[in-house]
Amino acid sequence: MILPASAETFATPLTLAVISDTHFGAKRVRLPDEVLDALRRADLILHAGDFCSVEAFELLCEIGPPVRAVFGNNDVEALRTLLPSRREFQFGPFRAGMIHGHGFGRLTAREAAEQLFAGQYDLGIFGHSHRPYCETHDGTILFNPGSPTNRRWEPRHSYGIIRIADEIHAELRYLP
């Protein structure tokens, strides 16, 4: 069950499996086994938008760990009604936010995430570009997991694992 967009609190230590831009529309696309295994082992699954179908969202929710997601620009209207455009979290002592990254005028998804999160949050998660990204800006880790199923211009599919305890350890993982 997805809760309202207000900040949710989670105790640490915590392992997040982060994906985005899966683009499961009319055609059935399967998540790679490595990604499914990582999702099952996580404490919480975060999806930064662009499921493209309600069925894809429901399938992700059946994997096991709780799912928190935002809607993306390619998501159907039913998902736009079900999911918020932005989420906020408190992971132990760390403040985090998540957006898809579309709808910010001429700003790229990374620029939008930097504008919204840098210097104000410990972690900012975004998607939209399908480009994996993990860099620190003004003390904030900006993290885009890329896509495990739709790499677009990237040489490989990707996803992310974020471990949070006394510090945040964000890792991009690339599929062969």
**For the domain bounded by 12-174, which CATH number is listed?**
3.60.21.10
**What is the domain partition of the chain in residue ranges?**
12-174
Burial of 45 per CB tally in 10 Å (0-12, 13-18, 19+): buried
CB-CB contact of 47 with 25 (8 Å)? no
State pLDDT tens for residues 7-34.
899 999 999 999 999 988 756 678 899 9
87-135 per-position pLDDT tens digit = 999 999 999 999 999 988 899 999 999 999 999 999 999 999 999 999 9
